[in-house]
Structures are given as structure tokens and as C-alpha cells.
Structure 1
Amino acid sequence: MSERGEDEEQEVKADEEDNTETNPQAGGGTAEQPPEDDREPGSDGEEARADSPSSDALETVEDAETQADLPDDAKQFREPQRKEDVENSTATVKVVLVPEGHVMTVAFTIGLRIQELKRHLASELRVPAEVLQISLDGKVVEEQQSLMELGVRPHSSTRMEMSSTDPTTHPLRPLRPPEHDNMPDVITVRVQTDEGVFQEVVVEIERPPQQKPFLGGYRHRLTEVEYHHAAAQTLPRKRPDRGVSIFSCSTQTVELKSRAQQCPVDAFTQMTSCYISCMNDKLVTPGNYITAEEYHDKRLRAVIRLQSFARGWLARQAVDRLKRERERRLAWLDMQERRRREEKEEQLRDRRQRWMNPQRREDFNLLYQALEKWRCEEEQQIKSSLRGAERKAALCSLLEQETQLITAIGRHHIAVQHNNYDKAITNLLDKSAAAHRWLGADGRLIEMDSQHTIRARELQDLYNSINLTPVSQEQRLHTLMTLKHTVKEHKCQLTQDIVDLIDREVDLVTRGIKAAKLEGLRKRISTLFLQYIKTPMFNPKMAKLLKVPQNPSQLKNNMLLCQGCQRYLHSTYFSPSASTHLNSRCRDCTGLDNIARSRNDNSCYKNILRRLRADELRLNEEAKIPFLLQVEDVRYLVKVVWSSCSALNASSDLYNLVFVRWERKRDWSPWNCILLSKEETSAHLEEEDVYKAYEAPFICRIEHKHMLARRHFRQISVMAEYLDYQPDAALDNQFVSKPITMTTGKHATDTTPSSTH
């Protein structure tokens, strides 16, 4: 058996050498990669040889020669075997992937159907089997046909093409790159099955995931092909079982035991004829003996020293932390002081700007307040320093100066009204032409134009074109014609007047009249067209912007009688107040009375109310009481209840006073507030319990002011429901209220008396 095995190995080596000479790549389990220039992209040497036109012919000749070389007995032996197992024989199938051109070689049983081949290739390419289409010689092969029906012989090779019906979603690509595919997938080996009988066996080569180690062999000098020893390619020979256990754990372990031994008698030995050098010997002398107390005392001193260093380090860290906190606190205080100073400078700058260039009604109230303050000071000085006729003359001169100043303020007021008129008209037209806006579900701002909005925008553009002064004669005539066609859509007396004025200007312009002489006529056209725009019948968008309703049936609604000018006006002309539903006089009469008599400026109280609302809205979004108060109510709190000064340091600068909560955990109200300067608010708001932070007399004074605020605001119906009632004894019978008189200057204002509870 050993001689036969050696003969078989020699024959296999001879066949491998023959295959190496014809094909350098089929070399005994290793393959040599051909040069890059001779190798086609996407295919290896075996695939290139399979694609050549003479490959099938060479295989046919080799099969014929093999059949001729076989003895008659072998032919008789193999022929019946082919008839019986012809369907189980294998064949080499080379599948070309279209359009990439990659070649896959598979050893396949010729008795199986094309459907099984598709499933195998689909698992290799990781694509669905339904998208694969196989063709042979340009014709599509059916799935139910087998290789034997297609004319494929056993142990032969055939070439087929495979494509994808959906190349976009499922393209055909090999899983391993072509540059790593340097070895054929299937080889044919001649094996001697019996004495003088040989059989060709198709061997499919498996590619391991890692490189096979080189365990010895030789290299061909001409072809540079490496051949491994048989020991590296075959399993080791199994040794026969002799019935004796050779390997055992008991022969490879040792048992160790430890045992102490002590000599029963101390003994020594003396060596002779042995020299020991004393060059490296050391002389050791005993030191001082240290007792246990000394040792522990030394350890204690060392521990104390370590603790002192550690505590010193911790103390330095604490000091550094305190320094950083102090610097941070000083920086914050400096920033707050700088911010308050800048805010105060901004207020003074704004006040000075309002003095120099007043634009609003509050600005003129500030001028009249300054005028009244100057008059009072001059009058007091005259009365204290002069007597008799000189005092009368000085008072007359003071009255004349006051009259001149009032006249100057009035002239400036008229000029400002003229300028503000154009701004008011522009704002009105912008509001009418504005698109409808709302927030969408995604948070974006959505704008929509309706037919009324487009109409208002066209009228606005036409009004702006008419008021343009530096225009040429052709542009002016074109604008007038456009205006004429626009207003002629509606026939009424207003549109007829506008058309007549347009015809008159066109006639004068054609006659060569200068533009300076046509200024009055153009002003009349602009005024009438503005009236046309404000009419809701011509511009429906104006119906919601006019204060006075155009429908006569709605004029009786919300109409009130002004006690000053004795006119019936809409409720929008009256200022609301928390103490009463509406004032008895309109805004114009109230402003005129303020200019003529009291000359008060409420801008500082408005700033206090604005800051109070902002602070409370930040602390509680559902705060209601600060938004029910009006400027007059804040003015009463500041002047009457808190005497226009801070509760702590009696600072009387109204621009530096603010209202904060008395008890921080309760919502702000007139009976839970304190008037402080801006510098004192931060320290007050840090106190958790004000009854422990302040002294009893100060707390009693604050509670007395809260009681006065309760008495006043109990008379207001909208504020009475927010009162936190207390027992009568605690409030000293304060539920019995009387009319409260608020004195401002020389005049007094009486509030509406409330009913007795």
C-alpha cells in the first residue's frame, strides 16, 4: 500500500508539472499572478484561458488522448459507470457577469436544474434569485432545464452569461475583488483507482480567510512557482493505537509539600583550609536604644507636622477662594453701580432731549412742569425780597415772561403737530395696506394678501405718487390721468370734485403755468384724495382703522358726554382709570386743564409702572394687579402713600425709585410693596423673612402705609376682589372708608366715595 501511494503521488506531481508548463497558474495549491499588462482587468489567468477560442478544443483533444491511453479493461469498467451515474457527474460552469465581465467558475452536477444554479449564484452574489437571468449562446435558458439537457457532458466545461433584470437596485458584483482572485476555483485531477485504472476527479478549491503558512517546499527556477510539501497540504498521519496510555496528567504534575525543621541542639562547624577575605566587611556599632514612648512621641510630632502643613494648605485655599469671591462680588457691585449710573445718565440725556426737542404730549407736559417750577421759584423770590409797587412791577414782568414762554411752546407745538400729521397719515396708510399675518404650526410667519389689502396698497402708491413734488410734466400728467380713472369708478360728489380739480390742473399745466402757482391746487387734490381713501365704501380696509364708526346706527354705542367741552365723543377719546370706569373729561380737555392749572408730568410714574410690570411678569406670568393699575394710581401711591421718597434712606429722586415686593414669596400688590431706590432693591430682595431683618418701628410704619393703600383701593370694584381681608381689630376698623382727597399743588381731586361695609 505504501508503494502504491508513492506511485500515486509521483503521478499527481507529474500531472501538476505538465499543468504548470501549459498554465503557470495551476501550480500545486499555489498560484503565480501574471503580469499586469498580460492580464485582463476583472479576470484571472484561468478565466482568460477559458475565454480563448481554443480552450474547448484543447480539452476535447485531452479527453480523446486520455480515452486512447486507457486499457480496454478500464474502458469496460468506466462505461457502465457513466451510464448509471451520468446525472450525478459534475461539470465546470463558467458564468460571465454582464456587463462587468467578471467570471465565476462553479463545479455543478449536470443533472440539477438551472434554478438550483441560480440559487447557488444568488447566495454567492447576495442578490435575490428572481432578478438573475442566465443565457447560453445568446439565448435565455429556462429554469426547469438541466445542464445535461443543454448538452453539457460530464467532466467538461461550459460558458454561460448571467445578467440582472434590475441592474439599478441589484447590480451583479463579485464579493471578492478580482486582484485577490489569482487561483482557479475548479481543477481536474487524474486519480488511479485501481491497478492500471485512472479516473478524472473535479476538485473545487476553497479559499481560506487567511494566508496559509509556508512549512517547507521548493521553488521552480524557471517559473518561480513555489511548491509545498505534502505535510503542509494533507492531514498528519494518525498513529496506531497500541493500547497503552502514553500521555497522562499524573506524569506531568508534581506534588509539593512544605515542612519546617529545627535542629534540637545549636551547633557549629569549623572549616579548615578555607580563606575568606575581610576587604568588604563593615564595622557595625550599636546605636542609642529607642523606647516605645520615644518612638510614639516621634510619630506624633511627625503627624502634627503633616497636619500643620495640610491645614495650612487648606487655609490658603480657603483664603484664595474668599479672595476670588470678594473680587467677584466687588466686580458685580461695580458693574451694577456702572449700570445704574449709565441708566441714570441715559434718563437725564433723554429728559434733556425731550426738553430741547419735544415731540409727544408727555414732552410738552415736561416743558410746562419746568415752566411752572420756574414761575413758582421766581414768584417766591419776588414776594420775599420786594415790597409795594416794586413787587407789583416784578410780578407783571414775570407774567409777561411766562406769557412769552407759553407762546413759544405753543408755536413749537403747532410745528410738531404739522410734522406729526404727515407721519400719522403714513402710518394709517401702512396699516391699511399691511397683509394679514399669523404664526403657522411650524412657527413660521405666514402673510396673506386679500382683495381689500391689494386695493389699499394701490391707493397708497397712488397717494404717494401725487405728493411727489420734484417730477416732470409728463410724469405729473400720467399720475393725474391714473388718479382720474381710479376715482371715476365711483360716482359721488367727492369723486366729481376730484375730477374737476384734476381737469383744472391739466388745463393750467398745458398752458405753461409754473408749478409754484399750482401748489394750492395740488394740496386740495391731495386732501380730497386722502378723504377718498379714508372712506370705507371706496377702501374697505379703512373700516377697522377709523375711530368713529361710519354706520349711524353704531354712533349711539359707547358715546359719552365730555364735561369739559360738552361734546358727545366715542369712549376711545377718554382715558381709562382703575378708580373709575372713564374720566368725565376727554383727553384734550384733561391735557388743556393740566397745561392751564396743575402742569404735572407723569412720565416718571409711567416709568415706575413699566418697570413694575416687567419685574412681576418675570417672577409670575399670571400677575394681574400691576396690569390693572394706571398711571394715576401709581402717582397716588408714590405721592400720597409713600410721600415720594424711599422708605429706607428717604431719597426723593423719582427717576431712581422703584416698587418691589415687601414679602418676597407673595405677589405684588399695593398692600404688599415697598418704595425703594434702585441701590436698595437687591439687598431687600435677598431677605427671606423681613420681620426678622427689620426693626419693629420700621415694620409698623410699613404696615401703616399698607393699610392706607387698602383703604384707597377698596373703593375700586376691580381691585376689591384681590384684597386679603383681615380682622377688624387688626385693621383698626379700616373697613369703614371715606372719600379720599388727593392734593396736587393748589388743586385737589376728589375720588368717588365708597359705600360703608
Structure 2
Amino acid sequence: MAAVEPPPPTEAAAPGPETDESPGAGSGVPEPPLWPEYADPNYVMPTEIEVKVGRVGTAATGMGSYEEQTIICVAVEKVPVGFRKPNLGGYRHKRTGLRYHHAGTQTEARTRPPRDMSSLRERDTQTYETVSRRTETVRESGTQMRRVDLDIDDTSDLVVYPKPYFSAAQQLEVNRKACITMQRYWRGYLARCRAHTKRMAILTMRAEEAAQAEMEENQAAERHQREIKRRLQPRTKADFELLYNELGTWRHREVQKIHDGVFGDTAEAKRRANAELLAKESKLLQTIDNMKGRASKEGRQVRVRKLLKMMSQPQKWELGDGHFVDVDTPFSVRAKELMDLYEGLTAPLMSTEERLNVLLSVKWTVAEFDCTLSSDIIELIEREADLLNRGRSSSTMTGLRQRVANLFLEFIQTPEFNPAAQQFSKVPDETIYISPETYTTEFAAT
């Protein structure tokens, strides 16, 4: 980085003719330079400069060793560049105002002499030059051939015979057989992998088929049990329609049997068979009607309990972080208390003392409101309490208890007594008819 200081401001000279009587002329006072030395645009760098480099070394004498600094002068030659150097930018110091410019330099690249390619692929170039050298081994040894005057033991000698000549074609055949062997093992491995994959796919498919068959069998069994339960314990309208349709099918089939003479061809036999069929049909219809009454009663109880539970549920309020909390409002607490009283009224197998406590709680609850409904409930509660004090059995008061429960349920469903029932009450459809005369006189003006 090179720091460049901005030039100091100079005062402009007044215009006028140049004379020798300018200030400072002939007085011997040097004029200040227009540009600093490091920023003079007219400066020309010499072709060769001398750089002094200091090197610190250690020198030893008879008295000891000490550090010695040596100055080395290095001549640096400037190589002219045939292009203009690019502006690499820079930055300015905020406090001092000095400008720093990025600078770079590069030494001249060395050029290698061209390589001689004339004798690159000749026999003399590619022939290895051998060198014979003599050496002395650590262990002395020698060889001796048999002579006429010298007998040598050759019992342990080994005769080595050369093997048959092995041509390149034979080597290629050996390689080909080895490749075939490797290919055979590799293809066998791939075939075993494919067989294992197919085997696992078949096992998986069979397991899925078995699971699907078992699931279908279970679904069929559940469906069969559900159909049987629909016929033995019908609950919905569709269940009773199914029973009536099956009863009609059975009756039609029995009538066809009577006409075909299965029970006899005489008129008396057919009359007797029709009478028996009518009695059976009447009995089945009566059974279906009884089941319908029980289902209606149980369904009503389920709906009532569900309604009371929904009234007594706490409200869900959303917090600022998106979570919900359950909050018991006065309306939900009131609905919960009324639901507990209704469950106490409809609970079976209660002792006389427990029943009297429940009746007393219900009486004080409805006595807060002065209306016809609360008066009727209080009257029935006092009548049941009087019968309990007289020792009457519970079976004789079934109808009375049912009336008390129904009236108290009506009390719970009234928004005036239970504010939580407002959102579950049925709003009557009050359609307002406006005649053309009324619209013209009252609404058109507005």
C-alpha cells in the first residue's frame, strides 16, 4: 500500500504580465515546490536503482561472539512494461484524509530453452547404457570345475532344465480363461441376488395376501356380528326398516308355500296355515314395536346426556401464543350443577335418605324462580317425599319419578334458568310478512 497525501491548497496568482520583480526573485529564498516529492507527476523512475539490505550475523572472536550487521547493496533493474497497469482501487482514511492505493508488481518470467525433439524416439536414445563395475563381497567364494586331477562331489547338485517356451498367444488364452472364470462367478452372484430378490418378493406378496385375507375375514365376521346385532338390538331407523323388510320377505315366502300346498292341499289346511302365519306375524310385529320403544327411550337418554355434557363443558380461550386453555365460566358451572342434579334424579337403586337429599337439592334449585314450571316441580317433589316417608315401594312411584325428571329436564333446557342452554335451544321460525302498503308507507321513506 502507498499512502498519498492530498496536495495543500495554493493561492492563485493575480493575473498580469510577468516581470522580473516578482516576490522572491533574486532574494535567494527558494520557492516551495508545487507537488511533494512522492507525488510529483513529472518524476521519472531510473532504469536501475540500488537497494541496501541489512543482514545480521554472529561473529566469533577470541573474547567471545557478538552480532554483526552487514550491509549488502543489490542492484535492481527496471524492465519496461508495454502496457498500462490497471487501477486496483484503494481506500481513504476517514480521520487523516490520506488515500491508500493498491499496488502490485511482478518479476519477469523465465523462459525455458526449447527441447531438442530430433532424437527423442531413436534407438540410441531408448537403449539403456550398462556399466560394469567390480566389487568385493564380504564372504569369499569361488567355483571350481572338475578336472582330471580333481574329484568334486556332485551328489547334492541340482540340475535345472528350462521350461517350454510360452508364447504371447498362450498367455492371452490363459487370460481369456481367467476372465471367463471371473465372469462365471460374477454372473452366478448376480443370479443368486436376483433369485433372492424374487424369493423375498414372493414371500412378501404371500404375507400381504395372507394378511389381506385375514383382514377381510375379520371384517366379514365383524360385519356378520354387526348385522346380527342390528336384528337383535335395533337402534336406528335403518335397523327397523331392515327388520320390516325381512319380515315382509318371510311372509311372502310363507304365503307362497301355503299356495303351493306345502302344509296341505285342502281349504281347511290352508286356512289353518294362514291363521298360524297371521299369529306369528302379529307376534313379530309386536316384538319389533317393543324393541322400537326401548330403542327410542335409550336413544333419548343418550341424546339428553350428550346435550347436558355439551352444556357443562368449559369454554376454550385462545392465548396470544396460539395455545388454548379451558376456562370454566359461570354459565358452564351452572350447567354442571344442573347436570349433576338430573343424574341424581335418574339414578336407580338409591336409598330413601339419598333420594330425599336429591329431591331437597332440586327443590331449592327450582325455588329460586317463581313460575308455573318450578311450582309443578316442587309439587311433584313434595308428593314423592310424602310417599317415601310413608314407606311406599319404588316400583309404585316409577311414573311420578319420570314426570319429575322430564319437568326438571325442561327446566334445564330453558335459557332463563340455564343460560348455557341458549346456544342449544331451537329458535322458532318467525317469518315477518310485510305488505306492499306497509313497505310504501313506512320503509320507502327511510
* Band of TM-score, shorter chain: 0.5 to 0.7
Cα distance in 1 for residues equivalent to 2:168 and 2:351: 119
| 1:156 paired residue number | none
Q: Which of 224, 240, 243 is equivalent to 1:364?
A: 240
Cα distance in 2 for residues equivalent to 1:260 and 1:376: 122
Judging changes above 3 Å, is the alpha-carbon distance between structure 1 residues 520 and 282 closer, same or farther for their aligned structure 2 residues? same
| 1:456 paired residue number | 335
Judging changes above 3 Å, is the alpha-carbon distance between structure 1 residues 304 and 477 closer, same or farther for their aligned structure 2 residues? closer
| 2:289 paired residue number | 410
Judging changes above 3 Å, is the alpha-carbon distance between structure 1 residues 393 and 339 closer, same or farther for their aligned structure 2 residues? same
Alignment of 1:190-269 (within 5 A): 240=65, 260-261=130-131
C-alpha deviation, 1:343, in angstroms: 1.2
Judging changes above 3 Å, is the alpha-carbon distance between structure 1 residues 509 and 437 closer, same or farther for their aligned structure 2 residues? same
Whether 2:250 is the aligned partner of 1:374: answer: yes
- Are the aligned partners of 2:233 and 2:291 in contact in 1 as well (CA < 8 Å)? no
C-alpha deviation, 1:461, in angstroms: 1.6
Whether 2:310 is the aligned partner of 1:431: answer: yes
Alignment of 1:173-572 (within 5 A): 240=65, 260-261=130-131, 281-385=157-261, 389=267, 394-395=273-274, 397-437=276-316, 445-510=324-389, 512-516=390-394, 517-546=396-425, 548-549=426-427, 554-556=429-431
Cα distance in 2 for residues equivalent to 1:238 and 1:444: 90
Give the SS at the match of 1:284. coil
Deviations 1:286-308 (A, max 9, x none): 33333333332232222222222
| 2:31 paired residue number | none
C-alpha deviation, 1:347, in angstroms: 0.9
| 1:5 paired residue number | none
C-alpha deviation, 1:410, in angstroms: 1.0
C-alpha deviation, 1:283, in angstroms: 0.7
Deviations 1:560-586 (A, max 9, x none): xxxxxxxxxxxxxxxxxxxxxxxxxxx
Judging changes above 3 Å, is the alpha-carbon distance between structure 1 residues 241 and 416 closer, same or farther for their aligned structure 2 residues? closer
Counterpart amino acid of residue 333 in structure 2: I
- When normalised by structure 1's length, the TM-score is 0.35
Cα distance in 1 for residues equivalent to 2:364 and 2:235: 39
Judging changes above 3 Å, is the alpha-carbon distance between structure 1 residues 437 and 376 closer, same or farther for their aligned structure 2 residues? farther
Counterpart amino acid of residue 203 in structure 2: E
Judging changes above 3 Å, is the alpha-carbon distance between structure 1 residues 309 and 521 closer, same or farther for their aligned structure 2 residues? closer
Judging changes above 3 Å, is the alpha-carbon distance between structure 1 residues 369 and 239 closer, same or farther for their aligned structure 2 residues? farther
Counterpart amino acid of residue 379 in structure 1: V
Give the SS at the match of 2:130. coil
Deviations 1:406-457 (A, max 9, x none): 1211112112223333333222221221222367676755222222211111
Q: Output the aligned Cα RMSD.
A: 3.8
Judging changes above 3 Å, is the alpha-carbon distance between structure 1 residues 403 and 450 closer, same or farther for their aligned structure 2 residues? same
Cα distance in 2 for residues equivalent to 1:242 and 1:455: 103
C-alpha deviation, 1:400, in angstroms: 3.8
Cα distance in 1 for residues equivalent to 2:261 and 2:210: 47
Give the SS at the match of 1:286. coil
Deviations 1:514-543 (A, max 9, x none): 343554444333332222112222112223
Give the SS at the match of 2:248. helix
Structure 1 runs not aligned, ≥5 long: 1-236, 244-257, 264-269, 558-757
- Are the aligned partners of 2:377 and 2:407 in contact in 1 as well (CA < 8 Å)? yes
| 1:737 paired residue number | none
Deviations 1:264-322 (A, max 9, x none): xxxxxx98899998566421113333333333223222222222222122212211111
Judging changes above 3 Å, is the alpha-carbon distance between structure 1 residues 499 and 305 closer, same or farther for their aligned structure 2 residues? closer
- Are the aligned partners of 2:315 and 2:326 in contact in 1 as well (CA < 8 Å)? yes
Question: How many residues are treated as equivalent by the alignment?
Answer: 296
Cα distance in 1 for residues equivalent to 2:165 and 2:182: 26
Give the SS at the match of 2:358. helix
Cα distance in 2 for residues equivalent to 1:533 and 1:444: 32
Judging changes above 3 Å, is the alpha-carbon distance between structure 1 residues 479 and 323 closer, same or farther for their aligned structure 2 residues? closer
C-alpha deviation, 1:394, in angstroms: 4.2
Cα distance in 1 for residues equivalent to 2:190 and 2:233: 63
Cα distance in 2 for residues equivalent to 1:420 and 1:523: 16
Counterpart amino acid of residue 532 in structure 1: F
Counterpart amino acid of residue 359 in structure 1: R
Give the SS at the match of 2:326. strand
Cα distance in 2 for residues equivalent to 1:526 and 1:345: 41
- Are the aligned partners of 2:342 and 2:405 in contact in 1 as well (CA < 8 Å)? yes
Alignment of 1:5-44 (within 5 A): none
Structure 2 runs not aligned, ≥5 long: 1-61, 69-127, 134-141, 433-446
Judging changes above 3 Å, is the alpha-carbon distance between structure 1 residues 438 and 355 closer, same or farther for their aligned structure 2 residues? farther
Judging changes above 3 Å, is the alpha-carbon distance between structure 1 residues 437 and 334 closer, same or farther for their aligned structure 2 residues? same
